[in-house]
Amino acid sequence: MRIVFNTAFEDVTLAMQRAAESLAEAQRQVSTGLRMGKLSDDPLSAVAAVDEHSVLDRLDAYKGAGDAASYRLGLADNVMTDIINQLTSAQTTALSARGSEITQGTRDAAANELLAIRDALMSDINTQFQGAYLFSGSNVTVAPFSVTGGTISAYQGDNDTNAIDVGSGRAVASTFDGGAIFQGSDPVHILDALTNLAAAITAGDQAGIDAGIQALNRGFDRANAAQARIGNDERSLDDARSMLTTMHAQSITRMSSIEDADLAQAASQLSQADTAYRAALAAMSTIGRVSLMDYLK
């Protein structure tokens, strides 16, 4: 086989370029920690990375929604606890004012206490979160109850409660139907019931007091049921967040397997590529170094 200078030169030049490419690629992997430099390095993995990034973005969004929902549910839970406590106090006060032997002064004091409880309940049910009423259903810009000229309005919200998606196919309530909690199927809401009860106690109206106590009992049951639903949502949210944490970790692992370079392998390849590149450079420097021309005198 005839060996000509140009062939040797081109072969070694090509080998040198390939070695330089391999070295640059190994350096890129080690320095960036990423397996792929461009999409065409591995089209299938590129698509998998797109999908996995989308999964991560969605999980992050669910996590954010879960955090927001957690604040709301926590606040609603606290409000319901206070409402239940207030209703319990009201029940106790009403029961203590029941009976013919109670003095007028005691009845008046009990009535005043019930009216104070009513005002506290109204304050509770009109709780706002980020400028929106929590217990107005979807009518979040309107307070559930308001007072005009000493008269408490009917429930002003609606029964269309909002939900927040906190996971795939999993949603928790973000607003609550104050009417269902405070009135349900009763003819009057709990606030008016307390007003009426206070009036009955002041007047010594035993039938009115009994009716008021029964209304308080029903209100207490509704509040407990509502808090139970909130508690269920909180538990569901905890489950969802726990699942999100697991899914997030799994997604990160998958992402890493798709995108991250095996650093040990990359370092080994870098070493090999460096050796190959040095060898190619050395080979290039030997081309044409010696020829018959050197021996012609």
Partner 1 sequence: MLRIASRALDAQRYGLDVTGQNIANVNTAGYTRRSVVYEEVPPLDPWSPGGGVDVQALVAARAPLLEARLMFEQPGSSREGAIADHLAVLEANLGQPGASLDAALARFYNTYAQLAQNPISATARQQVIVEGQTLSRTFNDLATGFNNAQLNADRELRDTVRQVNALASQIAEINAGIASAGPGNADGLLDQQSVALASLSELVDVTVTHNADGTIDVSVGSGRSLVVGPDTFALTAASTPPQGFAQIISDGAAVPTDVTSEITGGRIAGLLQLRDVLIPQYQTQLDQLAYGVATDVNTLATSGYDLSGTAGVNFFAPPSGVAGAAQQMAVNSAVVADSSLVVASATTAAGNNDIARAIAALQDQPITGTTSRPVDAWGNLVYSVASDSRSATQARASHDQVIQQLKNLKDQISGVSIDEEAAMLLKFQRSYEANAKFFQVTDQALDLLMSLVRT
Chosen residue from 168, 206, 250, 275 binding partner 1 by CB under 8 A: 168
Measured from the CB atom, the residue of 207 and 293 that comes closer to partner 1 is 293
Please give the Cα distance from 236 to 195 (Å, whole number): 37
**Strand-pair partners of 258:** none
Q: Are 72 and 135 in contact (CB under 8 A)?
A: no
Contact range with partner 1 by CB under 8 A, out of 86-94, 117-125, 129-137, 234-242: 129-137
Number of H helices and number of E strands within the chain?
7, 6
Min separation Cβ 56 and partner 1, Å: 8
Please give the Cα distance from 245 to 167 (Å, whole number): 11
Exposed / middle / buried, residue 197 (Cβ in 10 Å: 0-12, 13-18, 19+): buried
Tell me if 274 contacts partner 1 by CB under 8 A.
Answer: no
Chosen residue from 47, 154, 249, 263 binding partner 1 by CB under 8 A: 47
Chosen residue from 25, 82, 165, 186 binding partner 1 by CB under 8 A: 165
Angle at CA of residue 295, ends 289 and 297, nearest 5°: 130
Tell me if 80 contacts partner 1 by CB under 8 A.
Answer: no
Tell me if 69 contacts partner 1 by CB under 8 A.
Answer: yes
Count the alpha carbons within 13 Å of 252 in the hemisphere toward its beta carbon.
8
Tell me if 24 contacts partner 1 by CB under 8 A.
Answer: no
Tell me if 136 contacts partner 1 by CB under 8 A.
Answer: yes
84 phi and psi angles, rounded to 5 deg? -65, -40
Contact range with partner 1 by CB under 8 A, out of 155-163, 176-184, 200-208, 222-230: 155-163
* Separation in Å, CA 84 to CA 87, 119, 160, 162, 194: 5, 14, 23, 23, 14
Chosen residue from 43, 74, 99, 231 binding partner 1 by CB under 8 A: 43
Chosen residue from 104, 141, 206, 268 binding partner 1 by CB under 8 A: 141
Please give the Cα distance from 171 to 233 (Å, whole number): 8
Q: Where do contacts with partner 1 occur on this chain (CB under 8 A)?
A: 1-7, 10-11, 14, 38-41, 43-44, 46-47, 49-54, 56-58, 60-61, 64-65, 68-69, 130-132, 136-141, 158, 160, 162-165, 168, 171, 174-175, 259, 288, 291-293, 296
